[in-house]
Amino acid sequence: MKVYISEAAFVNIIISAIEVYRKECLGILLGHKVGSNKYVVEYAVPYQSADRKYTEVKLKTMREQRLKKNLKFLTYISEIGDFHSHCNGTIELSDTDIEDMEGSKSNISIIISVTDQKKRILWQSLKDGDISGNIGNDFSVRLSCYYIDRKKNKPSKATIICPYALSFKYIQENAREAALMA
């Protein structure tokens, strides 16, 4: 499974995670499926003032229903999954995450792991399908994407394709230089 992430979605996922850092963010992914083994994530929309603890089960269900009901009046793009952040350094799905995925009709789930930055690394694709890099001088970030393998009925890892993230290092270098000159 390949999951293409647009610039807009990438920026939103990262901003959402950093905004509430040390708390977890949660939101939905809008986009479409291409063929049988590719998703395109066009937009990522965070749930407002959502702490994952509160959004589990009831609130999440209620918001999702409201959103699904009204989304079709706004756009032809549909909900294809969700995203949330981890601040404990793990990129793996928790037991709750697995239950959530197996129980929901969501197709894909992106985890963004945010930690304090320890060393500078350039944005890169990793062998396991993740992408990782730094934001400025403060944060290290890694994105993983899972989908439910319908044959096994278990979450499996997808390969993230995000050309914007890989071009992102140049934006960051320019921002650093601009900050030094200011």
Chain residue whose CB lies nearest Zn ion = 97
User: Which amino acid makes up residue 148?
Assistant: I
Smallest distance from Zn ion to CB 49, Å: 18
- Residue in 64, 82, 97, 100 binding Zn ion, rule: CB under 5 A: 97
- What gap in Å lies between CA 3 and CA 37, rounded to an integer? 9
Return the range that interacts with Zn ion (CB under 5 A); candidates 55-63, 71-79, 93-101, 148-156: 93-101
Which of 94, 104, 106, 115 lies at the binding interface for Zn ion (CB under 5 A)?
A: 94
Angle between helix 163-181 and helix 7-19 axes, rounded to 10 deg: 60
Residue 179 CB-density burial (10 A; 0-12 exposed, 13-18 middle, 19+ buried): exposed
- The answer to the question of residue 104 lying near Zn ion (CB under 5 A) is no
Phi, psi (deg, nearest 5) at residue 13: -60, -45
Share in percent of the chain as helix, strand, coil (round to 5): 35, 35, 30
Stretch that binds Zn ion, among 28-36, 86-94, 145-153, 172-180 (CB under 5 A): 86-94
Q: Which stretch binds Zn ion (CB under 5 A): 27-35, 72-80, 92-100, 123-131?
A: 92-100
Residue 154 CB, nearest approach to Zn ion (Å): 16
Cβ atoms 101, 93 nearer than 8 A? yes
Choose one: 29-37, 88-96, 101-109, 118-126; the region binding Zn ion (CB under 5 A): 88-96
Residues in contact with Zn ion by CB under 5 A are: 94, 97
